[in-house]
Amino acid sequence: MKRFSLALAFQLLFLAPMANASWQRILTCDGAVVDVNEGERRNLQIWVKDLNVLRAMHDQGLENLSFGQTEAVIYGSTLWHMDFADATGPKILYDRDHAKGVFYPQDFSYFHADRMQPLNRGWVGRVVSVFREGTGLSLQYQNIEPRGCAGKIVPNPNPEGGPGDGQWGSYCDGEDYTSIANLAKFHFEGCR
């Protein structure tokens, strides 16, 4: 339950106020721009303006876009980072202590959008990453998927108030094995 609270707190404290924040352009590319929140420089957004990319995002079910929409904004933060070194599989981690703010274009290396859901001691679900790649910028969609329990399966002693939604007869007392599935990647050149 603690992880769900963290995810909810992140959404309430960081993502909800982003719509009313003051934004500074940090990077302009062909078909996309990246802005930083002037009040919390670990929060960023990408504006996707390339119509071919928008069409592909919609057609692949990656973003819910309205007919005729000519741009899409995706909010995120440097507070999340990917850990590929974990023995149980890739993880997305929340790291408030080491997340860096973005003050200049050269400070920007990546941010992740929060689309994950808590599962035992990890996070699963859609990961949307925006990162510098060469002289350009990439927008990548991936899923972190559970692949079984790395701990032991234990009976739920209190199905009405235990882990999960009260419907489980047992749960994983440990981390889950995870894998990552690449869904789509879009690249924008001409960044300045």
Is residue 78 within 8 Å of residue 60, measured between CB atoms?
A: no
127 and 144 in contact (C-beta within 8 Å)?
Answer: yes
Cβ neighbours of residue 2 closer than 8 Å, sequence gap 6 or more: none
Tell me, what's the pLDDT at 161? 54
* Alpha helices by DSSP H, the chain: 2-10, 51-59
81 in Cβ contact with 96 (< 8 Å) = no
pTM of the predicted protein model: 0.78
Write down the pLDDT at residue 41: 95
Q: Are 44 and 130 in contact (CB under 8 A)?
A: yes
Task: Give me 103's structure tokens.
Answer: 């003050």
Check residue 110 and give its pLDDT.
Answer: 94
Cross-strand bridge partners of residue 144: 125, 180
pLDDT string in tens for the chain (192-residue length):
344 444 555 555 555 556 678 999 999 999 999 999 999 999 999 999 999 999 999 999 999 999 899 999 999 999 887 888 888 888 777 787 778 899 999 999 999 986 766 665 566 788 899 999 999 999 999 988 888 888 888 776 665 655 544 455 677 777 788 889 999 999 999 999
* CA-based end-to-end distance of the chain: 43
Q: Give the sheet arrangement for strand 32-37, strand by strand.
A: 23-29, 32-37, 43-48, 72-77, 110-119, 122-133, 136-149, 176-188
**Rounded distance, CA 30 to CA 135, Å?**
12
